[in-house]
Chains A and B, each alone.
Chain A
Amino acid sequence: MKSFGGFVIKEFNHIFRDRRTMLVLFGIPVAQLLIFGYVVTNEFRNFRIAIFDMSQDEVTRELTGKILSSGYFILDESLTSTDGIDEAFKKGHIKEVVIFGQGFGKRLEKEGLATVQVIADASDANTANLLVNYTNGIIQDFAIRYRPAPAHPPAIRIEERMIYNAELKGVYMFVPGTMALILMLVSAMMTSISIAREKEMGTLEVLLISPLKPYHIIAGKVIPYVVLSFINAVVILLLGFFVFGMPVRGSLALLLSESLLFISLALSLGIFISTLAGTQQVAMFISMFALMLPTLLLSGFIFPVENMPLILQWISALMPPKYFITIIKDIMLKGSGLEFVWEETLILAGMTLLFIFLSVRRFKTRFV
């Protein structure tokens, strides 16, 4: 047991002495949260547009003012002919062109109907869709105010309530997602690479002929990463809470235990990958393409799973982070207890056991 303790300490030193890796390990969660919190937002603003005003009357000037003062749009250029539209889009600065036809104000007054043409750069389909909606909203709003007060107010109101996240903060999605991603990164990727490294350098064989038992070796490699991952998880939670006001409505103890469960799962996956890979490069690419990208893309972290084709939904069901993210979201935002997340918890536990079993089998056939 004494030699085992020494071995664990050696592994700790190994990791903590490497300042660059440490910096990255703790830099990633912080940078990620900041990026998700502030950069990858769903608040749309400051889009550049071009306006082609053939009418140049009081009404179009007023409407232009309304559009530009909304905060969504900035005037990039005023066009003088429709020929310039394609060119303006191709320069790549503007996302939308608003066109007022000839005699806009006069027609609105006399005929009671005038038309605004809105052309959006739909190479970014979603943004285009939203921009057209916003523009439409501003114009309709203007039209209502422009007309005399109606005799009857609109009869049916639509009352909306956003629950769990009333302020529509994007970070509520990203704190759980970032946790899953970082824990995967630190636990699975680091472990698999670190074991593959020992293999590549031939030092694993040295360890295997030492009096240490194989499971001691694996445990020794893994324990430092458990500690690291756990610290990372706590850092993310603290950042989420203090910087972004992400609530923890459910039990903190449950939240931390679920995190530990997910860490074990990620580690067992990491060990499993290292039994497959002979070199660090291969371990890295497997981790990268089989773990990281799916965590980012198939777990519902950025893109809702329900919108994907059925096959991808099935694949997604095999992705451990999907369940972890669901658990975390439910505990933190909905305040759910174990009675709501027991199914997901069971799935994670089952996956952990499966990967441990598979690794042990592969490890035995290779080395014993």
Chain B
Amino acid sequence: MHRILFIIQKEFIQIFRDRTMLPIIFLVPLIQMIILVYAATLEMKSIDMVIVDQDHSPLSRELRGKFEGSPFFRLRGVAESMALAERELHSDRADIILNIPADFEEAMVRNESSGVQLLISAINATAAGLTQAYSRRIIMAFIQEHMPQGSETVALPHISVESSFWYNPELDYKIYMLPGILVILVTIIGAFLTALNIVREKEKGTIEQINVTPVRKYQFITGKLVPFWIIAMLELAFGLSLGRLLFQIPVEGSLWVLFGFTAVYLLVALGIGLLISTMAGTQQQVMFIIFFFMLTFILMSGIFTPVESMPDWAHAVNIINPFAYFMRVIRMLLLKGSGFWEISKEFFSLLVYGSIMLGLAVWRYQKTT
């Protein structure tokens, strides 16, 4: 215990003495958080639209007005012909073209057949899907509104759908992204610093000096783990307070459970970092190995897209993906107010996982080669 404390003390002195690392640890991630929360949004707010109005009728103008009034669309202009409009699409100045045919009003009034055309640039398939959904909704509502009077629709059996959105009634995307970004920040800071630390001692040669001392392997690993564990916990507290202040992120569940869970999660994240650093020889190697796993794991964790839709092999990979556990749990705790029992499965899984990783790290760290 005594020896561990000396290692911890030394690590803290080194961390706080480094004038470049300290701002990196606290300031940069927070700036990132603020930027990311705003950047990482799939809310469609300004879909650029070009309208080709071949009808020039009051009704077609009204439909144009509907799009102009919509918060989702930004009318870039009215083109005279489809060819001109398509040029806009080609040069990235428009995302969607709405083509109103010449017989639009006539068809509407007489209830005859006609068709409105939507031409959507689908390079970003997700955005295209949402664009389609939004524009369809506007046109459908418009047609409904202008249904010729006396048609039989009213008399027909009709099922109305009442939808309600729980836990985030305003459908604020930021509230969804922020917990995910916190997870990434805490992990990057924790795992990277831990992993780089031991390799740095290897590169500098100081690890030899430690290896000739009678310090036990578990003492050394613990001494290296604790400082970064504390820093990562502080990082979470800091990030969470900031999220609360700036973005009013809800904290529905218990903070005790959140921090308790984070404590266990960090054992896994830092354990993996330590394991990698015992295996790698240079800082460059460590960075690339961690970077590779991070990128893969983050994308598979469900931060941007729902885990449910991923293929089976991705679910299998997610069993060893610490991000996937934490991403799910932090959202449950913060946004839905789940209690400990609802996350106990993840909690104990990570506890076992963390013990294995730390065990492996102690085992792999060799004082004698």
Q: A and B: real partners?
A: yes
B309 touches A284 (CB 8 A): no
In the complex, what distance in Å separates the CA atom of A160 from the CA atom of B314? 33
Q: A330-B92, A336-B90 are in contact. Are A119 and B166 (CB under 8 A)?
A: yes
Q: A24-B288, A24-B289, A157-B115 are in contact. Are A123 and B283 (CB under 8 A)?
A: no
A113 touches B89 (CB 8 A): no
In the complex, what distance in Å separates the CA atom of A336 from the CA atom of B91? 9
B50 CB to closest chain A CB (Å) equals: 13
In the complex, what distance in Å separates the CA atom of A121 from the CA atom of B152? 36
B163 touches A326 (CB 8 A): no
In the complex, what distance in Å separates the CA atom of A151 from the CA atom of B169? 40
* CB neighbours of B126 from chain A (8 A): 42, 170, 173
Q: B121 is contacted by which of A136, A164, A169 (Cβ under 8 Å)?
A: A164
A159 touches B116 (CB 8 A): yes
B241 CB to closest chain A CB (Å) equals: 20
B339 touches A163 (CB 8 A): no
In the complex, what distance in Å separates the CA atom of A161 from the CA atom of B125? 13
B22 CB to closest chain A CB (Å) equals: 11
A-side interface residues, number (CB < 8 Å): 118
Verify if B212 is at the interface (C-beta below 8 Å from A): no
Give the one of B192, B200, B283 with max A CB within 10 A: B283
A140 CB to closest chain B CB (Å) equals: 7
Chain B residues numbered 142-169 whose CB sits less than 8 Å from any CB in chain A: 143, 151-153, 155-169
A92 touches B338 (CB 8 A): yes
A309 touches B125 (CB 8 A): no
B28 touches A140 (CB 8 A): no
Q: A152 is contacted by which of B42, B111, B128 (Cβ under 8 Å)?
A: B111
A117 touches B162 (CB 8 A): yes
Contact with A along B191-205 (1 / 0, CB 8 A): 010001000100100
In the A-B complex, list the 7 residue pairs whose CB atoms are closest, starting with the nearest. A122-B165, A123-B335, A162-B122, A165-B122, A122-B168, A168-B125, A125-B171
Chain A interface residues (CB < 8 Å from chain B): 18, 20-21, 24-25, 27-28, 31-32, 35-36, 38-48, 89-92, 95, 108-109, 112-130, 132-133, 135-136, 139-140, 142-143, 146-148, 150-166, 168-170, 172-173, 185, 189-190, 193-194, 197, 200-201, 278-282, 284-285, 288-289, 292-293, 297-298, 302-304, 306-309, 312, 315, 326, 329-330, 333-334, 336, 340
Known: A46-B308, A92-B338, A285-B28. 17 other contacts (CB 8 A): A20-B288, A40-B299, A41-B310, A92-B343, A108-B159, A113-B158, A123-B167, A124-B176, A126-B176, A140-B161, A142-B159, A158-B139, A168-B128, A190-B284, A193-B284, A302-B40, A306-B95
